[in-house]
Structure 1
Amino acid sequence: MILFIKLFLAHLLGDFIWQPTSWIIHKEANRHKSIYLYLHILLHVFLAVIVVGEISFIPYAILIAVTHGIVDLIKLNFQKNKTKRIWFVIDQIAHLLILIGVVLLYQKDNLSFLGFDNRFWILTTGIIIITKPTSIFIKTIISIWSPESQNSHQDNSLSNAGNYIGILERLFVVCFILTGHFEAIGFLLAAKSIFRFGDLKEAKDRKLTEYVMIGTLISFGIAILIGLIVQSLLLQLL
């Protein structure tokens, strides 16, 4: 389980946190000719080896990275603008299945080269999941419903403010769950609703209201789910 968590953390870092948007755009335009596709593969090799912390894991890290590149290349060649959401999901599921396969293949315990205990890896992975990866996931899922009114009001907002607010609220939710203050999640949701009420009332757009509600509920739902999973895994270590 811990090996999978470490590899999943490396995947999140390589696919979401440390992969610039410019790399993604260049890969989509040039596919197998893009230098960033191969840099992306090398990044995954590096991250897998560093996070696992075992020299003997290098061949498995190369296996993960090469298969990762193959999956990405398949997605780049077959996805269309209308099917990007579907291919995003297929792509991520394929990567996770590869990680599971490598864990079963490696079958080795007590990987603690970096000196961190299992709680560190569980907490770090949970925190990383609810930041940029979750933001990208939510944006991909609800982009099909993006209302025109939302785009017209973006000029009045701080740059990427909504994204950072979403990340912060999910971090708060996970912290509340891990500290046993579930009631605080309700206060957080109520506070956000109050601040959002003025914008939605001014917009007078039902579609925008529904769009915001869907995004908010998905965000809180994911944060609660991750918080409960992290809490459960930490309790198992006691």
Structure 2
Amino acid sequence: MGQILCLHFFTGHILADYYFQTSKIANNKEHFFKYLLLHCFIYLLTMIAVVLPLFSWQLLQWSLFIAIIHFVIDSCKAFLSKRFVFTDLQEVLLYFTDQTLHILTILFVLAAIILSATNIAYTDSLTNLIHIFHINPVSLLSWLVILLLLIQPSSITVRTVLDHFNPKTADDGIANAGALIGVFERLLILLMLYANQYAAIGFVLTAKSIARYNKIAEEPAFAEYYLLGTLLSSLLVIVSFHIIF
């Protein structure tokens, strides 16, 4: 059940930190305390919600602990952002440090729960449903986590890392189309990986490149930006797939 609990916790973290955190909250939480509190309150409710199927008071207490540490980490990040002016590279490092600390917090809690031999089990009614419909909770949760990862978190990560490389040309295409193309690209690569059709991944990347061939050939800056985005996006899929599956 340790793997199932891990997937539950990471589902909660991804939902709260990427899907339930609006742009308004994300842009203002480092400058206004009320937005930071709102984000952390939503984070707490989400973490509680994802452990309810495994209901126990110990898990609720650990969910509260994770939310408190999340608040401390985000508060430190907000303090540093107010106190210092960061370069583009430092902003990227700060983003990855922030997410790494959140992940380490969850892993620490998982280790503590496993070492304390806390009883982890689905409620009786949910267990009966799992048996009736022959559901594999690990497989189902694994797919949920990786799909959530490859949509919003991956898009934000790619944008955070590559934003300062963006040549900002006059012809940038349809607004947000690039992000949507990136999502479909990652989902297709995921399906190819799952089906062990590694050669087919090349066709996916080739099809993406055809649409921008002229611009890639004529503008070296855009070509480098495009290549970096494609490689990072593909790397996120491959790493996520091998960690989760």
Short-chain TM bin: 0.7 to 0.9
Q: Give unmatched runs, 5+ long, in structure 1.
A: 234-238
Q: State whether residues 7 and 51 of structure 1, in contact with CA within 8 Å, keep that contact through their aligned partners in structure 2.
A: yes
Mapped pair 1:209 → 2:210: no
What are the residue-to-residue correspondences of 1:46-85 with 2, within 5 Å? 46-53=45-52, 54-56=55-57, 57-79=59-81, 80-82=85-87, 83-85=90-92
For residues 110 and 184 of structure 1, do their structure 2 counterparts lie closer, same or farther at Cα, with a shift above 3 Å needed?
farther
Q: State whether residues 3 and 111 of structure 1, in contact with CA within 8 Å, keep that contact through their aligned partners in structure 2.
A: no
Mapped partners of 1:163, 1:144: distance in 2: 16
Q: State whether residues 138 and 218 of structure 1, in contact with CA within 8 Å, keep that contact through their aligned partners in structure 2.
A: yes
Aligned mate of 2:209, from 183, 193, 214:
193
SS in 1 for 2:189: helix
Deviations 1:93-138 (A, max 9, x none): 1101110111112224654345561111111111111111011111
Equivalent position of 2:94 in the other structure: 87
The CA RMSD measured in Å over matched residues stands at: 1.8
Q: Give unmatched runs, 5+ long, in structure 2.
A: none
Deviations 1:144-175 (A, max 9, x none): 322243xx222xx2221100110111011111
> What is the deviation of 1:16?
0.7
Mapped partners of 2:68, 2:46: distance in 1: 13
Mapped partners of 2:215, 2:160: distance in 1: 23
Equivalent position of 1:153 in the other structure: 171
Q: State whether residues 177 and 228 of structure 1, in contact with CA within 8 Å, keep that contact through their aligned partners in structure 2.
A: no
Mapped partners of 2:92, 2:174: distance in 1: 27
One-letter code of the match for 1:43?
A: I
Q: State whether residues 52 and 111 of structure 1, in contact with CA within 8 Å, keep that contact through their aligned partners in structure 2.
A: no
Equivalent position of 1:124 in the other structure: 144
Equivalent position of 1:236 in the other structure: none
Aligned mate of 1:106, from 103, 110, 113:
113
Which TM-score applies when normalising by structure 2? 0.84
Greater mean alpha carbon deviation, residues 108-117 or residues 8-17: 108-117
Mapped partners of 1:221, 1:194: distance in 2: 21
Aligned mate of 2:15, from 10, 13, 16:
13
Which TM-score applies when normalising by structure 1? 0.86
For residues 111 and 164 of structure 1, do their structure 2 counterparts lie closer, same or farther at Cα, with a shift above 3 Å needed?
farther
For residues 177 and 208 of structure 1, do their structure 2 counterparts lie closer, same or farther at Cα, with a shift above 3 Å needed?
same
Equivalent position of 2:195 in the other structure: 179
Percentage of matched positions with identical amino acids:
26
